[in-house]
A and B are shown apart, each in its own frame.
Chain A
Amino acid sequence: MKKTTILDLVSRKLAPFMLLFGLYLLSYGHLSPGGGFQGGVVIASGVILLFVAQGVGSTISLFPFRALSLVEGGAFLLLVAAGLAGLAAGAGFLGNPMAGVNVRMVPRASMILVYNVLIGLKVGAGISFMCMYLFREDR
């Protein structure tokens, strides 16, 4: 397929900002509109933009199969581990032990931030992994 300059240039310049915006959404999900799933989907859409515009072959070195599957599985295990940490801290499985604490400099939503980041990474890696598998050309 023939590549046009405008598609090439715009996708290359836009994708980093989409990834950045996704990270912003998932790290400020407890304060502003956004959250783990939304941020993860925005991250995945940035990766998919690269796949569609640049081709899977040239993008796969940036997001290798192995790394994406590791993030997908590892973030899930870390999510369960964080839930167990909440249980150990006395707030129940997947609870937020900081919710009732009123200490300066310690945000009350710190555990929610951890869950949001883990879920966002997992969703972003999962959806881009799925699309990469479907966009592959070597079959």
Chain B
Amino acid sequence: MRGGRVTAVLEVAVLVLVALFLLLALQGDHPESSELRGYLIENGSRETGALNLVTAIYLGYRAFDTLGETMVLLLAVTGVIYFASFRKGGEDEEDHHT
């Protein structure tokens, strides 16, 4: 159990380091307005037709991304059905096999 304690201390130390890094990296000043934001607010609705700018981005400028996202969801549903539809009986046969 001694090795387990050493790894525990190491993991907590890594967590503390990550915390310090995050605190240092996240604070500080950030740009209040960017060029891209100004462009989106000025032209987003006119170029894509949606008043909601989030919709204008994810169905206008980044529609391929949305298509891929729906594919990811389709694959996740397929995977869940594939993995959840095994029965317990099928596994015992595998056990005999090994």
Are A and B close enough to touch in the complex, i.e. CB under 8 Å?
Answer: yes
Which of A's residues lie within 8 Å of B, judged by CB?
29-37, 72-73, 76, 79-80, 83, 93-96, 98-99, 107-112, 115-116, 119, 122-123, 126-127, 129-130, 133-134, 139
A31 touches B64 (CB 8 A): no
Q: Which of B11-63 contact A (CB under 8 A)?
A: 46-52, 54-55, 58-60, 63
A112 to B45, CA, bound (A): 12
Q: Are A99 and B48 in contact (CB under 8 A)?
A: yes
Residues of B with C-beta under 8 A to A29: 50, 52, 55
A83 to B59, CA, bound (A): 11
Assuming the contacts A94-B64, A94-B67, A133-B80, asked whether A35 and B55 have C-beta atoms less than 8 A apart, the reply is yes
How many A-B contacts at CB < 8 Å in the complex?
96
Would you list 8 pairs from A and B whose C-beta atoms are within 8 A, ordered by A residue?
A29-B55, A30-B51, A37-B69, A93-B63, A112-B55, A116-B59, A129-B77, A130-B80
The reply on B1 being an interface residue by CB < 8 A is: no
> How far is A35 from B77 in the complex, measured between Cα atoms in Å?
21
Asked if A76 and B70 sit within 8 Å, CB to CB, the answer is yes
Which listed residue (A37, A109, A133, A139) contacts B50, Cβ 8 A?
A: A109
Report B-chain residues with C-beta under 8 Å of the C-beta of A79. Answer: 67, 70
Task: Determine the distance from Cα of A116 to Cα of B50 in the docked complex, in whole angstroms.
Answer: 11
Q: Which chain B residues border A119 with CB–CB below 8 Å?
A: 66, 70
CB-based closest 9 A-B pairs: A94-B63, A108-B49, A99-B49, A30-B50, A109-B49, A126-B77, A112-B50, A109-B50, A130-B80
Cβ-closest chain A residue relative to B51: A31
A35 and B67 contact, CB distance less than 8 A: no
Complex contact B84–A133 (CB within 8 A): yes
Are B70 and A30 within 8 A (Cβ)? Answer: no
Q: Would you call A33 and B52 a contact (CB within 8 A)? A: yes
- Nearest CB in chain B to that of A32: its residue: B52
B48 — which chain A residues lie within 8 A by C-beta?
Answer: 96, 99, 109, 112
